[in-house]
Structure 1
Amino acid sequence: MTVLLGPNRYGKAETRVVRVTRDGDVHRLKDCNVSVSLSGEMEDVHLTGDNAAVLPTDSQKNTVFAFAREHGIGEIEDFALLLARHFTDSQPTIQHARVEVEEYAWERLAGHSFVRAGTEVRTAVVHSAGTGGAESVVSGLRDLVVLNSTDSEFHGYIQDEYTTLPPTNDRILATEVTARWRHRGTGADFAASFASARACLLEAFAGTYSLSLQQTLYAMGRRVLETRPELCEVRLAMPNKHHFDVDLTPFGLDNPGLVFHAADRPYGLIEGTVLTGDAPPASAAWE
């Protein structure tokens, strides 16, 4: 039997970096979580323990901090590309870099005072084979909680011997959106692109009379692609955050769609991809 080394990568995961930009009494804050994965000529370190090709993960962590100081952190896609290109261009044994960045938003209270802006997280994943090599950018967000209190139905589905869910012509539709969208290249205005894509998701969610969460998912992805020509693919994961009418008849009360129990689990999980007809192959962009 022949045993071979397969695909592999290594890196420093979840380096938390906070960058403060001080413009007199008015400060700006960037709060990020950065994960780096590198791959290349790593056969010897796996097979014989020879570390000559290995850039220590501690060095990767230090690079994140040093680049935050030297270059600042603007759009997280640009920061991720800067890091990825550095690792592949500066180390001959590193042929591919994957950098993932999560950004936690803060809202300004005063010149140098901030409050955390909810639970929503902005995300970016870049892959780079170095300057002049293949690159990809996937932007997105997670933990975006949205709810429609009406204009949602669910009926006409398969009913078998285990079905107890009654059809409904009026229900609460709530979900926690994880969305990622793939760029056609690496030269976009990432700030404008993100703001517009996020707005498209929200507009489509609010403006779609929903007969299923799948229908809403498709409408959201389609709105993004029809609005943003620099994007070619959207992937969405949307758990159905169920809200059930509470039976108040034991207390002599009716409940005409006013009081609900918000159940956290189990939940339906709806996932889907929406893409343009001319979308280039994704290769490793989503990994």
Structure 2
Amino acid sequence: MAIVLGPNRYGKAETRLVRVTRDGDRHGLTDLNVSVALSGDLAATHLTGDNAGVLPTDTMKNTVYAFAREHGVATPEEFGLLLGRHFVSTQPQVAHARIRLESFGWERIGPHSFRRAGDFVRTATVDVAASGEVQVVSGISDLTLMNTTDSEFHGFPRDRYTTLPEATDRILATVVNASWRHSSEVTPFESVKDSLVNAFVTTYSYSLQQTLYAMGKRVLADHDGIAEIRLTLPNKHHYLVDLSPFDLENPGEVFIAGDRPYGLIEGTVTRDDAPPALVEWYL
């Protein structure tokens, strides 16, 4: 039996970058977490300790900061493409660069004053091959949404272990984690976020699975440049509190917000003519 080295990559994870754009008294602010991973002809360092092809991860960190100064940061996707193309074009041993970015929002409260907008995180993953092929995936994480009605769940199979009552009017709450693969130019982030939120608001839900599909379908219907979207939706359960011991009725007004365990719904909505992915993209 032979033992061989399998797929591998290495890089610098979570380089924290804050870029201030100074335009007189009015400043702009970009707040990123940038991770770089490179793969290619790197077997020697694993097998013999030969580091001739190993660009130091400290160099990757420095490149992030230097590029922020030299090129600015227009969008996470554009910044990721700049970095990825740099690494595959300057390092002949590198066949593939993956740049992951998290973008943390700040709300302007003055010409040079900001307040952290902490209700979601914008994400991007950019893959660049030495052949010139690129793949851009944008995303959002930790977007919490809730409908206090217009949600049901019934008609499910029952066995000896089933205790869940059927619901014809329930709270539907989730924390949206979604990523979408672009097939052409990058679609504006805010427009996609609006499509996700609007679909959640306007869908009368008979299951969270149905809501997931409605959200993904709305994004693809609204944006021709998106090939497919992957959604991960935890079902944040809310349980009606029994107030009868206190001689009180509870007409759907007082709930316990459940923590765990929770249902977890995952799915991909895609076009039947979507171009193939360059690499697996929802890792």
Length-normalised TM-score, structure 1? 0.96
Q: Secondary structure at the match of 2:12?
A: coil
Aligned to 2:235: 240
User: How many angstroms apart in 1 are the aligned matches of 2:74 and 2:47?
Assistant: 40
Q: Which amino acid aligns with 1:83?
A: L
Aligned to 2:63: 63
Q: Which amino acid aligns with 1:181?
A: W
Aligned to 2:76: 76
User: How many angstroms apart in 2 are the aligned matches of 1:230 and 1:90?
Assistant: 30
Are 1:156 and 2:151 counterparts? no
Q: CA deviation at 1:283?
A: 3.7
Alignment of 1:198-213 (within 5 A): 198-213=193-208
Alignment of 1:130-169 (within 5 A): 130=130, 133-169=132-168
Q: CA deviation at 1:43?
A: 1.2
Are 1:279 and 2:274 counterparts? yes
Q: Which amino acid aligns with 1:206?
A: V
Percent identical residues: 61
Q: CA deviation at 1:279?
A: 1.0
User: How many angstroms apart in 2 are the aligned matches of 1:157 and 1:98?
Assistant: 42
User: How many angstroms apart in 1 are the aligned matches of 2:74 and 2:102?
Assistant: 13
Q: Secondary structure at the match of 1:182?
A: strand
User: How many angstroms apart in 1 are the aligned matches of 2:98 and 2:210?
Assistant: 33
Are 1:47 and 2:42 counterparts? no
Q: CA deviation at 1:285?
A: 4.4
User: How many angstroms apart in 2 are the aligned matches of 1:62 and 1:228?
Assistant: 36
Q: Which amino acid aligns with 2:256?
A: H
Is the Cα contact below 8 Å between 1:201 and 1:221 reproduced in 2?
A: yes
Alignment of 1:15-54 (within 5 A): 15-54=15-54
Q: CA deviation at 1:119?
A: 3.0
Aligned to 2:258: 263
Matched residues, number: 282
Is the Cα contact below 8 Å between 1:127 and 1:285 reproduced in 2?
A: no
Q: Secondary structure at the match of 1:12?
A: strand
User: How many angstroms apart in 1 are the aligned matches of 2:161 and 2:276?
Assistant: 41
Q: Which amino acid aligns with 1:170?
A: D
User: How many angstroms apart in 2 are the aligned matches of 1:182 and 1:128?
Assistant: 14
Is the Cα contact below 8 Å between 2:135 and 2:278 reproduced in 1?
A: no
Alignment of 1:188-199 (within 5 A): 188=186, 190=187, 192=188, 194-199=189-194
Is the Cα contact below 8 Å between 1:121 and 1:142 reproduced in 2?
A: yes
Aligned to 1:217: 212
Length-normalised TM-score, structure 2? 0.98
CA RMSD, Structure 1 to Structure 2 (Å) = 1.0
Aligned to 2:2: 2
User: How many angstroms apart in 2 are the aligned matches of 1:53 and 1:210?
Assistant: 54
Q: Secondary structure at the match of 2:10?
A: coil
User: How many angstroms apart in 1 are the aligned matches of 2:112 and 2:135?
Assistant: 35
Is the Cα contact below 8 Å between 1:30 and 1:103 reproduced in 2?
A: yes
Aligned to 2:124: 124
User: How many angstroms apart in 2 are the aligned matches of 1:125 and 1:263?
Assistant: 32
Q: Which moved more, 1:142-151 or 1:20-29?
A: 20-29
Q: Secondary structure at the match of 1:13?
A: strand
Q: Secondary structure at the match of 1:163?
A: coil
Moved over 6 A (4+): none
Q: Which amino acid aligns with 1:122?
A: R
Aligned to 1:179: 178
Q: Which amino acid aligns with 2:211?
A: T
Aligned to 2:108: 108
User: How many angstroms apart in 2 are the aligned matches of 1:249 and 1:23?
Assistant: 62
User: How many angstroms apart in 1 are the aligned matches of 2:71 and 2:157?
Assistant: 56
Is the Cα contact below 8 Å between 2:133 and 2:278 reproduced in 1?
A: no
Is the Cα contact below 8 Å between 1:125 and 1:137 reproduced in 2?
A: yes
Q: CA deviation at 1:195?
A: 1.4
